[in-house]
Structure 1
Amino acid sequence: MHIVPLSVAPLSRTLLRDDILSRLRDAIVDGSLAPGEQLRDGDLAERLGVSRTPVREALLELARAGLVRSTPGRSTVVAPLEDRAILDAQSVVAAMHGVAAREAVARLTPADLDEMRAANADFTAAQRRGDLDAAVIADARFHAVAVSACGNAAVAGVLSQYEPVLRRAERLRFGSHEGAESAERHARLIAACADGDAEAAAHLAEQTWRSLSLAPRTDTHPTPTEEHRP
């Protein structure tokens, strides 16, 4: 996952809706767009250098993923972090990563395993120095290896919709002791993959996501000020 702020140079008008979706989703995940913040399609379109149509389509997709909340005839806002939505997404994401790991084990190359080790090392180092952005990016790199290797488009599609919900909550977790525990679980998962044990890998991958303490902390997201609004 590569986090790109919305304040950078406008996007080309030739870019597809998916590019807009990715930019808005990353801004919500990294907190640039805060819970409760109003999203005006016209303002966002101007900032991104596109028409309103791809922005509206992206907002609809974000609403389906639970990252945006729309009230017909009224307003669209960044959805708050809610326990039920997080737990629902966690169950789905954990199951999909289990499937990905099971199907990936037979396909993982030595280079893939080296990438998992390198990503986990980067994650550990970032977590220790308190670099939240780097920790989130390294963690995403780690899990992306199996998702890519398994070649299951359905798994990738479900994860692209629901994993960002967890990434928002994860950012609260990586500064705690649980960050170190994640690195240890990653190491056990790598060992299972290297041993060719698909069932153990699937179990570890699923438990890695199910074990996350992702309950939101309401004091972490103050009400956005006018200077942060689009």
Structure 2
Amino acid sequence: MPVPVTEAVSPRRLIRDEVFLRLLDAIVEGDLTPGEQLYDAEIEKWVGVSRTPVREALNQLATMGLVEIMPQKRTRVTPIDTTRLRGLADTVGTLLRGVVRDATPLLTDADKETLRATLTSAADKTATKLERDGLLTAGLIDVFVRRLDNRTIARLVKRHLPEVRRALIATPSDAAYVGSLPLLKPVVTAATAGDAEKAAAAFAAYWDKGLQTAVDEFAALEGKTA
């Protein structure tokens, strides 16, 4: 397990939270790849902490579907499974469609400017997958989730979105991003105009196009039809 090179734990965060965030970022961003074995001792050395917070972080990631723990056998990054990904994409997509619908009437002028800036940045063909992930989360989804200000929904998004993000970053090509990009403008146009139903429908089309493409790519790698 080649661990990423980062700084030691920040004293401003609880140790268990720091370890969790480090591992979460490493898994979502692909530094720790699907199926890769995880060893407590290496993680302890990487983050500079004892075994207990490492175990706590791994258990938390397991509840999110990002880590697979087999007691007395192995711990590994959960492989990407197309059946699970399809179901997760549908579930999260339905959740986010409702968020977009309910949050659109609440958007501030600053929120709308962020969405417009996201649309402009999305046209950059030189952007990396990590930069595109940032656009999808901070520049789009987070805007609606934050404005809705519903703790239960925010918690669900925080729990399930990382697994979807990981899959999108891990796709073999840019097809999911490129194919769905033309569908982003209707989302921003409707949301900034305050049309909640149209924004929600546009977001659903944007989300479904990107995720279906991603599922199809992984299915092709597995040699089966999704």
Q: Shorter-normalised TM-score: what interval? A: 0.7 to 0.9
1:116-155 matched pairs, under 5 angstroms: 116-125=115-124, 128-129=125-126, 131-141=128-138, 142-155=140-153
**In structure 2, distance between residues paired with 1:188 and 1:171:** 23
Deviations 1:110-168 (A, max 9, x none): 1101101112222221xx12522211112212221111111111111111111111112
In 2, distance between residues paired with 1:192 and 1:202? Answer: 9
| Structure with the larger RCO, 1 or 2 (CA within 8 Å, 6+ apart) | 1
Q: Which amino acid aligns with 1:22?
A: L
Structure 2: which amino acid aligns with 1:133?
A: L
- 1:204 maps onto 2:167 in alignment: no
Residue in structure 1 matched with residue 37 of structure 2 by the alignment: 38
Paired residue for 2:224? none
SS at 1:32 equivalent: coil
Counterpart-to-counterpart distance in 2, 1:46 and 1:27: 15
Match of 1:224 in 2: none
1:189 aligned partner: 187
Question: 1:120, 1:173 → 2: CA distance?
Answer: 22
1:214 counterpart = 2:214: yes
Deviation by residue 1:69-127 (Cα, 9 ceiling, x = unmatched): 111111100111111221121122101211211121121011101101112222221xx
List aligned pairs for 1:46-65, cutoff 5 A.
Answer: 46-65=45-64
What's the TM-score, normalizing by structure 2? 0.85
Amino acid at match of 2:132: A
Render the CA deviation track for 1:206-229: whole Å, top value 9, x for unaligned.
332222222254898xxxxxxxxx
User: Percent identity over the alignment?
Assistant: 30
Instruction: Give distance in 1, aligned partners of 2:94 and 2:143.
Output: 16
Q: Distance in 2 between matches of 1:62 and 1:107?
A: 32
AA at the equivalent of 1:129: T
CA distance in 2, matches of 1:14, 1:51: 17
Match of 2:128, as an amino acid? D
Indicate the residue corresponding to 1:102 in structure 2: 101
Using the size of structure 1 for normalisation, the TM-score is 0.84
| 1:88 corresponds to 2:99 | no
Report the equivalent of 2:174: 176
> Partners of 1:96 and 1:112 in 2: how far apart?
20
Q: Which moved more, 1:193-202 or 1:61-70?
A: 193-202
**Aligned with 1:76: secondary structure?**
strand
Q: Is the 8 A contact 1:123 1:134 kept in 2?
A: no
Letter in 2 for 1:192: A
Summarize the alignment of residues 149-164 of structure 1 with structure 2, pairs less than 5 Å apart: 149-164=147-162
Q: Secondary structure at the match of 2:76?
A: strand
**Matched pairs, number:** 214
The answer on whether the counterparts of 1:36 and 1:78 sit within 8 Å (CA) in structure 2 is yes
Does 67-76 or 180-189 show the bigger shift? 180-189
